[in-house]
Structure 1
């Protein structure tokens, strides 16, 4: 319903273009209190012989890193009882190595109005903080860093925030309509039947707020 808590989620894909089905999902137990986005500009600092300074010629923007901490509490102190180790394993299964594709999964991170990030896991560490007498963990902190996985074409399109040739994720909010979202993304409200079928919707007029919708790439005439 409107105003409901929306959790940060990590979606796993096996295809580099992110157009296949979602393989696995990991939802944050509690939303992070902060996200750290790090990016680096690369310059050519070649210096001429006999000179005392160099002119920094811009080369490229390196793929950015997003760092986030996932806190998991299995004590039930907030009324939600979870198995800490199962949650950790769900994170590892979603973000880690996939033997079927011989590499880690391709990931999408989505949370509210935050720009959807296409990325892969760069590094992660898991700290267990509290244990039962049996040794079963009751609390854990996953510190993860994800690195951008967009190619140059996609990176430019994402920088423009809208591109009909990319898959978009949207969380349907009260007051939204599927035709209006199609107009926003594709510049064409009349493609809503295709989007409805793609998401398995039986009625585009009865979409519940909080529903996650995927808008697939579409060629524009």
Structure 2
């Protein structure tokens, strides 16, 4: 594949001590793979030939690919005396490997955003394999292939604002945030604060003032099984 067919991919650090740092790579777009799984609970029922499966939650998307670093085919690499080094393979290998280390500000590895053309994927790096195949005269890496697995990263706020928490019966689950009350949650979810009774009944709540930040609530559908709304 010629150099003109290789597009630049960019890894941007989203948070932590190196927030805003950009790492460029050569990405061969021959293939990449997305994987997503769901968790189910199997409940055995006496007399049935197989258990009843109940949806529990969705797992994070995973993006896997092979990335290439090469000082000789990279237009910004040290290919000749007329072209000065910018970030050679050795430096970029170090920068990418650092993304698996615990950030001193976050106390966890930093989240990143992977961009290549129209693709944008916010994630943490779950797995990184490195293979160096060419070296400079001083022994420094000149060409490397990286097998990378990105795991989708979404903050709590993002999951609350753009949730993927609907199940087959349209029942939702959401967490109580800040000073939220059953009345305010009902107003947000059902456009009617009087619907707090529906939430209280679904969660066996006797005193609606007892909910606390961090509590998880079931939000039942407002429609009846036949698709009509309840009358109040």
Q: How does 1:148-163 map to 2 (within 5 A)?
A: 148-151=152-155, 154-155=158-159, 157=162
Matched, 1:87 2:92: yes
Deviating above 6 A after TM superposition, structure 1's stretches of 4 or more consecutive aligned residues are none
- Specify the alignment match of 1:129 in structure 2: 133
In the superposition, the TM-score normalised over structure 2's length comes to: 0.54
- Specify the alignment match of 1:54 in structure 2: 51
* Matched residue SS, 2:91: helix
Contact 1:35 1:67 in 2 (8 A): yes
Cα distance in 2 for residues equivalent to 1:145 and 1:105: 15
Bigger radius of gyration among the two: 2
Gap regions ≥5 residues in structure 2: 1-5, 79-87, 165-232
Deviations 1:74-108 (A, max 9, x none): 2x246552522112112234554322322111212
Contact 1:63 1:148 in 2 (8 A): yes
Deviation at 1:49, TM superposition (A): 2.6
Gap regions ≥5 residues in structure 1: 160-221
Contact 2:7 2:26 in 1 (8 A): no
Q: How does 1:70-109 map to 2 (within 5 A)?
A: 70-74=67-71, 76-77=72-73, 80-82=76-78, 83-94=88-99, 96-109=101-114
In the superposition, the TM-score normalised over structure 1's length comes to: 0.57
Deviation at 1:6, TM superposition (A): 5.9
> Which one of 148, 151, 161 corresponds to residue 147 of structure 1?
151
Matched, 1:10 2:11: yes
Q: Which has the higher contact order (CA 8 A, sep 6+)?
A: 1
* Matched residue SS, 1:23: coil
Deviation at 1:152, TM superposition (A): 6.5
Contact 1:26 1:90 in 2 (8 A): yes
C-alpha RMSD of the superposition? 3.1
Distance 1:21 1:129, change over 3 A: closer
Contact 2:26 2:74 in 1 (8 A): no
* Matched residue SS, 1:33: coil
Distance 1:70 1:158, change over 3 A: farther
Distance 1:101 1:36, change over 3 A: same
Distance 1:60 1:122, change over 3 A: same
Contact 1:68 1:145 in 2 (8 A): yes
Contact 2:45 2:52 in 1 (8 A): no
